[in-house]
Amino acid sequence: MNPIKIILIGSGNLATQLGTSLHSSGYFISQVYSPQLKNATLLAKKVKAEAINNLKDIDTTATIYIIAVKDDAIATVAKQLKLNDKMVVHTSGSVSMDVLKNISKNIGVFYPLQTFSKTKKANFKTIPICIEANNKSTLENLTFFAKSISTKVENINSAQRQQLHVAAVFACNFSNHMYTLADNYLKANKLSLDLLKPLIAETADKIKTGKPADMQTGPAVRGDKKTMDAHLKLLSGNKNAKTIYSLLSNSIIETSKKNK
Amino acid sequence: MNPIKIILIGSGNLATQLGTSLHSSGYFISQVYSPQLKNATLLAKKVKAEAINNLKDIDTTATIYIIAVKDDAIATVAKQLKLNDKMVVHTSGSVSMDVLKNISKNIGVFYPLQTFSKTKKANFKTIPICIEANNKSTLENLTFFAKSISTKVENINSAQRQQLHVAAVFACNFSNHMYTLADNYLKANKLSLDLLKPLIAETADKIKTGKPADMQTGPAVRGDKKTMDAHLKLLSGNKNAKTIYSLLSNSIIETSKKNK
């Protein structure tokens, strides 16, 4: 058993994946907190921890406190904690480290750059962990901890983390929305997204080996106005998809001009 | 050696991948045509075929003629061919089958729904092939041929193929552009896209097991206005990225309302 004792605040997708991964790596998770005792219990059982739904019951003798709750709940949780010099980190891409400053002298951020679901097991070894701390010794301890579960640990300050988060919205949230728009359009035409799945997988796979701008295909980058006009005509019943098609095609054209 | 004799018209990414795949499956490729003899020769050598750069030299005794040239070159090639009752197909997602009608009595479309590069080997077994033909016997022959190289063969008419192509622009061309916008933004801030690659891979992987609308994450679908405003502020120096961020965030919000 690893002598490091961890308190997990939160029971959502990230807390669940991180908690089970830490537990199976031999870390001792002492408590899992959720305002809903049912949710705390569900995760606590998996990681052999105590479930609590009141922050007043928190074990103040742990080594690391990981706040893995929704972005807008971090400040609320932070207000209820007082942990002197314990290491306290949150896991958010968009919230500043400073939100933790009244809890402890040793604070930081432990931001795993991945999208998590409750059921699909995450492999932390290959997930980039962006860390930040408010002093050198906390950074050293946090680095040591992060490196014990991932091979990709990066020092990223709050400003850079925000920038990474903006980029992640484009690369992930918006690309997923592109899949949704394709799915909805196909469904309206009684076709299945299954036909596009190998193409989607290959598109994402291609950028492992080259710059995405160099991998761009399709009518816009070819300057194939005839095909674009035909597509816009097909989309005439769907104002939203049509507006997006025009804007993104123009953006592809402008971006490829700049790259030349 | 398979007794079916194939003529390959084109020497681009798709022609190269399809040609080498057919050749290694035992098909006899008789000729490879390209207006540039150098390009025809490059592929012809790989598939042990004759290279030609004049359509007047075409072998008129083959079984299947595959026109795998750029969309806007298909009509030009078609005008120069006269092949009576030979099976002639093109490989385009957006061009109607009718463009081939003056070449032969037996025409069709053989559209592999994948993005191809010249160097990365494509595995046709898992690539959906959308086929169409102008009569029953040609459809039967084309189905037999397509099934000999892929396990996913679908009858798709010209109208449906156009719709699939529109959807592919969203799911693939536009999602790749999202990667490009992320890459450019990170580069401007001295950060690397490498940090986002596991997230991009997971985002594409997730839709194998569920509807993309159900997989949507990020500030827009959470209705997290504070984070969206902070992101727009960070993008204030980049009008194009900012406009796209606003439009797509609104589209995610509207789409998730409809799904509820």
pLDDT at position A3 is 78
Among residues A104, A127, A156, the one where a domain terminates is A156
Alpha carbon distance B207, B247 (integer Å) = 23
Q: Where are the beta strands (DSSP E) in A134-179?
A: 153-155
Same domain? For B84 and B39 the reply is yes
Contact between B158 and B96 under an 8 Å Cβ cutoff? The reply is: yes
**Residues in chain A within 8 Å Cβ distance of B171:** 178-179, 182, 193, 196, 199-200, 203
Do A133 and A195 have their domain in common?
A: no
Q: Are A128 and B200 an interchain contact pair (Cβ–Cβ within 8 Å)?
A: no
Q: What angle do CA A195, B118, A198 make, to 5 degrees?
A: 15
pLDDT above 90 coverage of chain B, percent: 88
Q: What is the tally of structural domains in chain A? A: 2
pTM over 0.95: no
Q: What is the pLDDT of residues B159-206, one digit of tens each?
A: 999 999 999 999 999 999 999 999 999 999 999 999 999 999 999 999
Tell me, yes or no, whether B115 and B231 share the same domain.
no
Residues B112 and B183 in one domain: no
pLDDT tens digits for range B62-83: 999 999 999 889 999 999 999 9
Residue A126 is part of which domain span? 5-156
Confidence bin at B260 (pLDDT 50/70/90):
low
- Are B36 and B134 in a shared domain? yes
Which pLDDT value is given to residue B117? 77
Per-residue model confidence (pLDDT) at position A30: 97
8 Å CB contact of B248 and A244: yes
Residue B49 has pLDDT above 80, yes or no: yes
The CATH number of whichever domain residue A16 belongs to comes to 3.40.50.720
* pLDDT tens-place string over residues B134-148: 999 999 999 999 999
What residues in B contact A127, CB-CB < 8 Å?
Answer: 198
Instruction: Specify whether A185 is located in the same domain as A126.
Output: no
Same domain, B14 and B59: yes
B220: Cα within 13 Å, side-chain hemisphere: 28
Q: What mean pLDDT comes out for the span B237-248?
A: 97
Strands of the sheet with B106-112, listed across from one edge: B50-52, B28-33, B5-9, B64-67, B87-90, B106-112, B129-133, B153-155
Measured over the CA atoms of residue B221, residue B223, residue B225 and residue B227, the dihedral's sign is negative
- B94 and B131 both lie in a single domain: yes
A82 and A146 share a domain? yes
Q: Within this chain, do residues B141 and B184 fall inside the same structural domain, yes or no?
A: no
B75 close contact with A: CB closer than 8 A: no
Q: What is the mean pLDDT of each run of 10 residues along chain A (260 residues)?
A: 86 95 95 97 97 97 96 94 96 93 97 85 93 97 96 94 95 98 96 95 93 93 92 95 98 88
In this predicted structure, the answer to whether residue B1 has a pLDDT above a threshold of 60 is no
How many contacts does A have with B, using Cβ atoms within 8 A?
Answer: 301
Distance CA B7, CA B1 (A): 16
One domain, residues B134 and B37: yes
* Domain CATH code at residue B204: 1.10.1040.20
The CA-CA-CA angle for residues B185, B186, B191, to 5°, reads: 160
End-of-domain residue from the set B156, B185, B213: B156
Whether the predicted pLDDT of B248 surpasses 60: yes
Confidence (pLDDT) at A2: 58
> What are A228-249's pLDDT values in tens digits?
999 999 999 999 999 999 999 9
Of all residues in chain B, the percent with pLDDT exceeding 70 is 99
Mean pLDDT of B229-256: 96
**Chain B residues inside the 8 Å CB shell of A171:** 178-179, 182, 193, 196, 199-200, 203
Does position B258 have pLDDT exceeding 90, yes or no? no
pLDDT tens for B89-127 read 999 988 999 999 999 999 999 999 998 877 788 899 999
E strands within chain A?
A: 5-9, 28-33, 50-52, 64-67, 87-90, 106-112, 129-133, 153-155
Same domain membership, residue B168 and residue B99: no
Q: Is the pLDDT of residue B2 over 80?
A: no
**Helix, strand or coil, per DSSP, at residue A118:** coil
Amino acid at B186: L
CB–CB contact A230 B94 (8 Å): yes
Of B139, B156, B173, the position where a domain reaches its end is: B156
Residue A216's contacts (CB-CB under 8 Å, 6 or more residues apart) are A252, A256, B173, B176, B177, B180
Q: What is the dihedral of CA A93, A98, A104, A107, to 10 degrees?
A: 40
- Cβ partners under 8 Å of residue A54, min gap 6: none
